Amino acid sequence: MDDLTKERVELLLDFIMKKCLWQFHSRAWDRERQNENIIQKTTQILCGEPVENDTPEQKCYFVDAAYLAENYKNRFPWVSEIDKVDLKNIMQGLRERLDYLLISGSLNAELTDPHY
């Protein structure tokens, strides 16, 4: 990942960390599923692709994704200006960074407590 991509991932990540409560799910599997679905749907919205939201769970992820997409477009004009392939790479980097910070790199023992 080049420096510009890393910088852009961090900008998008900073917004999530400051403005999105969904990052605080209490179990690792919840966080993994939310990161996958919300970032995937956000990417689809930003790239003008169809978004599946047939189930209540998918609709919930869609709402969070729509919020992210709208704010990303408003705060970061480059999101609408860059190539879709580059945007997808940035969003994949964002997903990987989220997974690390919120799951695999987290010191929160409750995430993996089988009795919680």
Q: What H or E segment, with its residue span, contains residue 55?
A: none
At 114 the three-state DSSP class reads coil
What pLDDT does residue 116 have? Answer: 62
Residue type, 98: L
The packing angle between helices 56-75 and 28-46, to 10°, is 60
CA angle 72–32–9, rounded 5-degree value: 30
**DSSP letters along 84-99, please?**
HHHHHHHHHHHHHHHH
State the number of CA atoms in the 13 A half-sphere of 116 facing the CB.
12
**DSSP letters along 7-41, please?**
HHHHHHHHHHHHH-GGGG-SSHHHHHHHHHHHHHH
Walk along the chain (116 residues) and give the pLDDT tens digit of each residue.
899 999 999 999 999 999 998 777 778 888 899 999 999 999 999 999 999 999 999 999 999 999 999 999 999 999 999 999 999 999 999 999 999 998 888 777 777 767 66
